[in-house]
A and B are shown apart, each in its own frame.
Chain A
Amino acid sequence: MDVRSTEPELRALMMAGLDGDAAAHKALLERLSNQLRAYFKAQLGRFNRGPVEAEDLVQEALIAIHTRRHTYDPSQLFTPWVYGIARYKFVDYLRRTKASINDLPIEDAGEVTAQDDRAHVESSLDLEKLMAGLSPRVRQVIQYVKLDGLSVSEAAVRCGMSESNVKVSVHRGLKALALQIGKEGADHED
């Protein structure tokens, strides 16, 4: 992961995100997801693992970066911190899939580099399953606003809730979902 040249930029985004700047945080996660994808694909390529596994790891690392961002020390470089998390998640992945690593066919080897580097590869984390852990009302609102792409007012009419209630439910739901993804990511493939 050669991000040395992007260090100042990423660090600035991180610092703004730590202060509560959502746009900077989003920009940071987007930038990092590309770098993480390249990193995990390169690592997984050596183990004949495909892009779905790489995407799993990208998402796990993003969640870790998000939920563990309080462990970043602003007096230190940002890149080694990200690299530390990415590397940890990769080692953890190897450890928990150790049993099956030798079972993989060698024919898959070329696939990794043949894949396009964009985010349309989906991870195997099942959103439906994660959503099942939410309360029915919050799940419904998330479904309308975040997945079906309805506007807040449309969702409010369908649910028979006020617009501000819909907004609050979305925020709560996302937080709960992020927590669940973290758990799911950690238990995943155990």
Chain B
Amino acid sequence: MKTDQLIDMLSTNVEPVKTGQVWKPLIWALAIGGVASFCVMLATVGLRTEAAGVSHLGFLALKVLFMLSLVGVGTALLIKLIRPGQDGRKLFTFIFLPFLAAGLAGIVALALEPSAAWHPMILGTQWVTCLYCIPVFAIAPFALLIWALRKGAPTNLQRTGAIAGLVAGALGATAYAFHCSDDSLPFIAIWYGAMVLLCAWIGARLGPRLLRW
């Protein structure tokens, strides 16, 4: 086929197109994905049942803050990555800040305790539950984010997939925080951090296949 022929075809019946809308499906994906994640948590492990004290609420707030800061930076990055020619390089460094802050907080918390107390602080009581709950809770938001990203034109599929995985993992971890009964900073830094990074790694592996256009 001749290229001129194609150009003729493409420039026939040209409809006006709005350009400011690409972020909308992403926001929908976040909102619906977040709710879906929370519902999956309620339907499977359920809310934390033991007596909730002030310190529990404080740790819940910390977990949610850690995860939502990742969702925030990740979403800002996705809005960049969905448009060709914008790689969001400056924003990319910010994604590591929440991990850094959580890691430092965890180290400080460990340093303040004798090393005999470290074992329960790190492993908590249900690190295994955390291990499989966060990736499972991340499935729904990940699928929705991929759907939203496919409406745009991401050109760095591996990086876009990784950030989508990270945001989905952080949403899954936010939902898990409402069940989680392990209140220690090292636990949050290690297990929440590791699971979100695992989700990001899976996203990076799946991105080139799922996002191709």
Stretch with Cβ within 8 A of A (4 or more), from B14-22, B39-47, B54-62: B14-22
Bound Cα distance A76, B84 (Å)? 11
- Interface of chain A residues 75 through 114 with chain B (CB within 8 A): 76-77, 79-85, 87-88, 92, 95
* Residues of A bordering B, CB below 8 Å: 17-23, 25-26, 29-30, 33, 37, 55, 58-59, 62-64, 66, 68-74, 76-77, 79-85, 87-88, 92, 95, 119-120, 122-123, 125-127, 130, 146, 170-171, 174-175, 177-178, 181, 186
- Tell me the minimal C-beta distance from B174 to chain A in angstroms: 29
Q: Return the CB mask of B82-98 against A: 1 if under 8 Å, else 0.
A: 11111000000000000
Stretch with Cβ within 8 A of A (4 or more), from B4-12, B30-38, B132-140: B4-12
Q: Among the listed B7, B12, B82, which residue makes an inter-chain contact with A170, where contact means beta carbons less than 8 Å apart?
A: B12
Known: A71-B83, A126-B1. A29 touches B11 (CB 8 A): yes
Q: Which residues of A contact B10 (CB under 8 A)?
A: 25-26, 29, 62-63, 66, 178
Is there contact, CB below 8 Å, between A74 and B83? Answer: no
Is there contact, CB below 8 Å, between B7 and A30? Answer: yes
Please name the 5 residue pairs, one residue from A and one from B, whose CB atoms are nearest each other, closest first: A84-B84, A80-B85, A26-B11, A84-B85, A20-B16
- Interface of chain B residues 63 through 84 with chain A (CB within 8 A): 82-84
* Residues of B bordering A, CB below 8 Å: 1-22, 82-86, 152-153, 155, 208, 212-213
Is there contact, CB below 8 Å, between B155 and A85? Answer: yes
Bound Cα distance A126, B153 (Å)? 25
CB nearest to A66 among chain B residues:
B10
Bound Cα distance A23, B11 (Å)? 7
Is there contact, CB below 8 Å, between B212 and A62? Answer: no
Q: Among the listed A29, A63, A81, which residue makes an inter-chain contact with B83, where contact means beta carbons less than 8 Å apart?
A: A81
CB nearest to A170 among chain B residues:
B12
Q: Among the listed B13, B18, B21, which residue makes an inter-chain contact with A174, where contact means beta carbons less than 8 Å apart?
A: B13
Is there contact, CB below 8 Å, between B19 and A73? Answer: yes
CB nearest to A127 among chain B residues:
B1
Q: Which residues of B contact A73 (CB under 8 A)?
A: 19-20, 83, 86
Bound Cα distance A106, B197 (Å)? 44
Is there contact, CB below 8 Å, between A62 and B13? Answer: no
Is there contact, CB below 8 Å, between B5 and A127? Answer: yes
- Tell me the minimal C-beta distance from B200 to chain A in angstroms: 21
Is there contact, CB below 8 Å, between B14 and A64? Answer: no
Bound Cα distance A95, B212 (Å)? 11
15 contacts between A and B (CB under 8 A): A18-B16, A23-B11, A30-B4, A62-B3, A68-B152, A71-B22, A73-B86, A81-B85, A82-B85, A88-B153, A92-B212, A126-B1, A127-B1, A174-B12, A177-B9
Q: Which residues of A contact B17 (CB under 8 A)?
A: 18, 20, 69-70
Is there contact, CB below 8 Å, between B6 and A22? Answer: no
Is there contact, CB below 8 Å, between B12 and A33? Answer: no
Known: A29-B11, A72-B19. A119 touches B1 (CB 8 A): no
Q: Among the listed B15, B85, B212, which residue makes an inter-chain contact with A186, where contact means beta carbons less than 8 Å apart?
A: B212
Q: Which residues of A contact B212 (CB under 8 A)?
A: 92, 186
Q: Among the listed B3, B13, B84, which residue makes an inter-chain contact with A33, where contact means beta carbons less than 8 Å apart?
A: B3
Bound Cα distance A25, B12 (Å)? 9
Known: A25-B14, A29-B10, A174-B9. A71 touches B152 (CB 8 A): yes
Known: A70-B19, A125-B1, A186-B213. A84 touches B6 (CB 8 A): no
